[in-house]
Chains A and B, each alone.
Chain A
Amino acid sequence: MSYLENNLKTIPTGWRKVLHLNWALVLLLSTVASVGFVMLYSVAGGSLEPWAAPQMKRFALGMGAMFIVAMVPIWFWRNMAALAYIGSLLLLVAVELFGTTGMGAQRWIDLGFMRLQPSELMKIAVVVMLAAYYDFLDIRKVSRPLWVLLPVFLILLPTALVLRQPDLGTSILIIAGGAIVMFVAGVHWAYFGAVFAMVVGLVAAVFSSRGTPWQLLKDYQYSRIDTFLDPSRDPLGAGYHITQSKIALGSGGWNGRGFMQGTQSRLNFLPEKQTDFIFTTLAEEFGFVGGMGLLALFGLVLAFCIASGISNKDRFGALLTIGIGGTFFLFFAVNMSMVMGLVPVVGVPLPMVSYGGSAMLVLLLAFGLVQSAHIHRPRGRL
Chain B
Amino acid sequence: MKRAAKDTLASARTISRRALILGGAQLTFMGGLGLRMRYLQVDQADQYLLLAEENRINLRLLAPARGLIYDRNGVVIADNEQIYRIVVVREDAGDLDETLAKISRLVALTADEIERARRELRRRSSFVPVTIADRLNWDEVAEVAVNAPALPGVTPEVGLSRYYPMGEDFAHLVGYVGAVSEKYLEQSGDDDPLLEIPKFQVGKRGAESELERTLRGSAGTRRIEVNAVGRVIRELDRIDGTAGAPVQMTVDSRLQNFVQARLAGQSAAAVVLDVETGDILAMGSAPSFDPNKFVRGISRADYRALLDNKFRPLPNKPAQGAYPPGSTYKMVTALAALEAGVVRPEETVYCPGFLEVGGRKFKCWKRGGHGNVNMEQSLKYSCDVYYYEMSLRVGIEKTSEMARRLGFGRRYDLPVSSISAGLTPTKDWKFARHGAEWLIGDSVNASIGQGYVLASPLQLAVMSARLATGRAITPRLIKSIGGVEQPVRDGEKLNINENMLRVVRKGMYAVSNETRGTAYRSRIIDEAMQMAGKTGTSQVSNALVNNKEVPWEQRDHALFVAFAPYDKPKYAVSVVVEHGGGGSTAAAPVARDIMLQAQYGQLPPLTAYPASQRSTIKARQDALQLRQIKPGSGRSRA
Residues of A within 8 A of B (CB): 135-136, 138-139, 180, 183-186, 244, 246-254, 263-264, 267-270, 283, 287-288, 291-292, 295, 298-299, 302-303, 306, 309-310, 313, 315, 318-319, 322, 326, 329, 333, 336-337, 340, 342, 382
Contact = CB atoms under 8 A, between A and B. Distances in A.
19 contacts: A139-B14, A180-B22, A183-B18, A184-B19, A185-B14, A186-B14, A244-B55, A246-B40, A253-B45, A267-B227, A287-B41, A309-B15, A313-B8, A313-B12, A319-B15, A326-B26, A333-B26, A336-B33, A342-B36
* Residue picked from A180, A244, A283, A306, most chain B C-beta under 10 Å: A306
Given A302-B26, A310-B19, A340-B33, A249 B41 contact: yes
B38 A288 contact: yes
Contacts of A246: 40, 48
Interface in B1-48: 1, 3, 5, 7-12, 14-16, 18-20, 22-23, 26-27, 29-30, 33-34, 36-38, 40-42, 44-45, 47-48
Interface of B: 1, 3, 5, 7-12, 14-16, 18-20, 22-23, 26-27, 29-30, 33-34, 36-38, 40-42, 44-45, 47-49, 51-53, 55-56, 225-229, 233
Contacts of B27: 299
Contacts of A303: 23
B22 A185 contact: no
* Residue picked from B16, B41, B49, most chain A C-beta under 10 Å: B41
Interface of B is mostly: helix
B45 A291 contact: no
Given A270-B228, A292-B37, 20 more contacts: A183-B22, A248-B48, A251-B48, A252-B41, A253-B49, A264-B55, A267-B225, A268-B229, A269-B228, A291-B37, A291-B41, A295-B30, A299-B30, A306-B19, A306-B22, A309-B19, A315-B15, A318-B19, A333-B33, A336-B33
Contacts of B3: 315
A333 B38 CA distance: 16
A98 to B, nearest CB: 32
A382 B5 CA distance: 7
B55 A263 contact: yes
Contacts of A270: 228
- Give the 3 A-B residue pairs with the shortest CB-CB distance, closest first: A250-B48, A251-B52, A267-B227
B40 A139 contact: no
Given A136-B1, A288-B37, A267 B56 contact: yes
A340 B45 contact: no
Contacts of B45: 250-254
A263 B54 CA distance: 11
* Residue picked from A138, A251, A267, A342, most chain B C-beta under 10 Å: A251
Contacts of B228: 244, 267-270
Contact of B11 (A315, A322, A337): A315
Contacts of B1: 135-136
A77 B569 CA distance: 119
Contacts, number: 147
A264 B34 CA distance: 21
Contacts of B14: 139, 185-186
A287 B228 CA distance: 21
A263 B48 contact: no
A253 B55 contact: no
A298 B37 CA distance: 15
A267 B226 contact: yes
A295 B26 contact: no
Given A183-B18, A333-B29, A337-B33, A253 B42 contact: yes
A309 B19 CA distance: 8
Contacts of A263: 52-53, 55-56, 225
Nearest to A248: B52
Contacts of B38: 288
A264 B52 contact: yes
A299 B37 CA distance: 15
B26 A322 contact: no
Contact of A249 (B9, B15, B37): B37
Given A267-B227, A340-B36, A250 B23 contact: no
A139 B11 contact: yes
A288 B44 CA distance: 12
A167 to B, nearest CB: 23
A247 B18 contact: no
A139 B18 CA distance: 14
A93 B461 CA distance: 98
A306 to B, nearest CB: 4
A295 B29 contact: no
Contacts of A309: 15, 19
Nearest to B49: A251
A254 B48 CA distance: 12
A131 to B, nearest CB: 11
Nearest to A270: B228
A288 B41 contact: yes
